[in-house]
Amino acid sequence: MRILITGIGGTIGTVLAKDLSRDHDVKGIDIRPVDRPGAVVADLTDAAALPRAFDGVDAVIHLAAERRHGREIGWDILHPRNVVATANVYDAAKAAGVRRVVFASSMHVMGGYEEAEPYRSIAAGRYAGVNSAKVALVSGDMPPRPDGRYAVSKIFGEQLARYFADWEGLEGVVVRLGTISEADRPGSDPRSFVSWFSTRDVAGLFRACVERPGIKYEVVYGASANTWKIYDTPYGWRVLGFTPQDNAEAFRSAGSRQ
């Protein structure tokens, strides 16, 4: 396939380009120059700059976005980068006859659920009295509960994916991403043991997102096979035919396991 990655110069884009290039024709867009063949510089808010990059593409992985999600980040930043740019990507994909768009969303669109038990305790690392195998996981079809403006901007992208799948014939996979780090290990905070997404699992899941046949529209959660879960990652593994390789518990000190 010919695959276009927006934000190809970022942490995730670099990982995916390296992996997918093994057996697909990968090109990319980034707002800054990227030292990679087939990568072009373009601002996704400029719709007129996009058609040539999308020509002949089979699948798009849309990663480019404003990633900061603090409460202080305002619409002046989020609207052009996460709303206008995403709308332009979907319009360009449709116009070019792209088969599928994989949209990088975020677990933050459901972050409000983490204020309720048992999720609050799990996110805080308070595991006493909680059976990790019996937690009712937050599924992809539950109503969104965004925890900030950033999350709201990602819901817009998810709904674009839904619209284009239902009415424009453009297949869509929404990946609500967890925590990806250049160190490729969970952070020191307890929540990262829920949301950690290893580099090789990132590559494997996104590969499945573009290669798996028979998908019209799906919402999946992006995290490794971590013992402690809040979100229904196993659903995505089943529909995508993907088997994660890593578990955050491998990095937890023996004294902190409960």
Encoded tokens for 54: 């999308």
Residue 163 burial (10 A CB sphere; 0-12, 13-18, 19+):
middle
> What length is written for the chain?
258
Answer yes or no: 163 catalytic. no
Q: Which of 90, 113, 119, 150 is catalytic?
A: 150
Which residues face 4 on adjacent strands?
27, 60
Report the catalytic residues.
150
